[in-house]
Amino acid sequence: MNKIFVILTVLIFPFTVYAQQSDSARMASEIKKIMQLRGNWVGDVEMKWMGKTDNFKVYQKNESVAANSGLLVNEHANSNLFGKYASASLVAFNSQTEMVHWFIISNAGEAGETTGNWKDNKLELKEDVLSGEEVEVFSTTTITFVNSNEYIYEYAMNSGGEITMHIKGTFRRGGAAPPGE
């Protein structure tokens, strides 16, 4: 019986180690992509909502958390359409779901999670906001890196097949910390 256990252990152990190394390498690669967002960012943003358009600046202060396993995103803005906005998000890669998870709370009543994956230099996220018998509401978010100091952010909320809110902006690294901190 002990010989069988030893033989099985010798045969199975290398595959287990290889799988763990593969998971660790994937995890490190995904975290490195997320950490591209670390630092202070200022975005020039256009928002279309309820038939109106507004242009404003968004300030982000993004810091690594949990021993560099995730990112804390603090965001502030002031819009003519919705007033002062503040949010905090946690962003991380989940090795079990093999997806990036972006959790957000804000003073606008948001509390939700978007999930998605990287495709080259673009992070694509989706959230099912509300699913019902009559109307499905969901949002999509993309973050596309132009280079290490600039990315394009795009958000769209879709309700019943129509885009009800659209936000697009170019974010550049640097600048002051978000106002209100």
Angle at CA of residue 163, ends 168 and 144, nearest 5°: 30
Angle at CA of residue 56, ends 53 and 58, nearest 5°: 130
Taking 90 as the threshold, does the pLDDT of residue 34 lie above it? yes
User: What residues contact 65, with CB distance under 8 A and at least 6 apart?
Assistant: 71, 72, 90
Q: What is d(CA 164, CA 158) in angstroms, rounded to the nearest whole number?
A: 6
| Full DSSP string of 91-109 | EEEETTTTEEEEEEEETTS
pLDDT in tens, 79-97: 998 899 999 999 999 999 9
CATH number, domain 31-173: 2.40.128.20
User: Domain coordinates of the chain in residue numbers?
Assistant: 31-173
The pLDDT of residue 180 is: 60
pLDDT in tens, 112-128: 899 999 999 999 999 87
Taking 50 as the threshold, does the pLDDT of residue 8 lie above it? no
CA 127, chain centre distance (Å): 11
pLDDT-derived band at 176 (thresholds 50, 70, 90) equals low
